Amino acid sequence: MKIIKISLIILLIIFSVYYIMYELIDLPNPLISFSWQNVYIKGIGTFKIPRDWIVTQKNKTIFITDKPIEENGYKIYLAGVIIDKYDNNLKKDEINGKWLYYYSNDDFFKNVQFVEITNFNKIFSNNTYVGINKYNINENIKEIYYLDLRIYNGAIEFLSWDNLISEDILIEIAKTFDRE
């Protein structure tokens, strides 16, 4: 009986140390990151997403969905744009907050307009950001989670399209990002 109590105390201590380390350091949860799949974007880096999510990349646009976009009825978890080099001559007032369309040239983002920062939640040591912004999408103002994976002179900016995933999942994705 004494060995069981000592074993339980040791397990409790190990779990407590692990939990404290995980909460204090912005490292990915190893239990999640081992079970997720790697996504590599050339020129940007690697990040992890749940194993059953589907990634479709066409030119500078990335869709992360529940099933292939060729099938009807898919759900978009994340819709993003690769910004491989920021345009230093870009005058944001000229494009009226429509930089996702500007950088992607994809009609999917044609009616997506940034309105304002709502909540700049989290910034991580690997240069990733998670928060909430307001966007005008097809004349409807929506608060949408965003995920920015940044490199020296570029990024991938994702929108949680229908807010189908939680902030906690976005944070875990952000923590797994490894720049190229």
Q: pTM of the entire structure?
A: 0.80
Within this chain, do residues 12 and 87 fall inside the same structural domain, yes or no? no
Spatial contact of 29 and 171, defined as CB atoms under 8 Å apart: no
Within this chain, do residues 40 and 117 fall inside the same structural domain, yes or no? yes
Spatial contact of 37 and 47, defined as CB atoms under 8 Å apart: no
Helix ranges (H only) for the chain are 2-24, 30-35, 92-95, 99-104, 167-176
Query: How many domains does the structure of the chain reveal?
Result: 2
Domain interval for residue 13: 1-27
Within this chain, do residues 150 and 174 fall inside the same structural domain, yes or no? yes
pLDDT in tens, 48-66: 999 999 999 998 999 999 9
Within this chain, do residues 3 and 23 fall inside the same structural domain, yes or no? yes
Between residues 34 and 164, the one the model is more confident about: 164
Within this chain, do residues 74 and 41 fall inside the same structural domain, yes or no? yes
Strand order in the sheet with 178-179: 37-41, 45-49, 178-179
Neighbouring CB atoms inside 10 A of 39's CB total 20
pLDDT in tens, 5-29: 777 777 777 766 666 655 555 556 6
Within this chain, do residues 103 and 81 fall inside the same structural domain, yes or no? yes
Within this chain, do residues 101 and 47 fall inside the same structural domain, yes or no? yes
pLDDT in tens, 68-124: 999 999 999 999 999 877 665 665 556 777 888 888 889 999 999 888 888 767 888
Within this chain, do residues 89 and 160 fall inside the same structural domain, yes or no? yes
Within this chain, do residues 106 and 50 fall inside the same structural domain, yes or no? yes
Within this chain, do residues 4 and 46 fall inside the same structural domain, yes or no? no
Best CA proximity match to 109, nearest among 98, 93, 97 = 98
Within this chain, do residues 17 and 79 fall inside the same structural domain, yes or no? no
C-alpha angle with apex 27: 67 to 10, nearest 5 degrees? 110
Spatial contact of 107 and 114, defined as CB atoms under 8 Å apart: no
pLDDT in tens, 133-146: 999 999 999 999 99
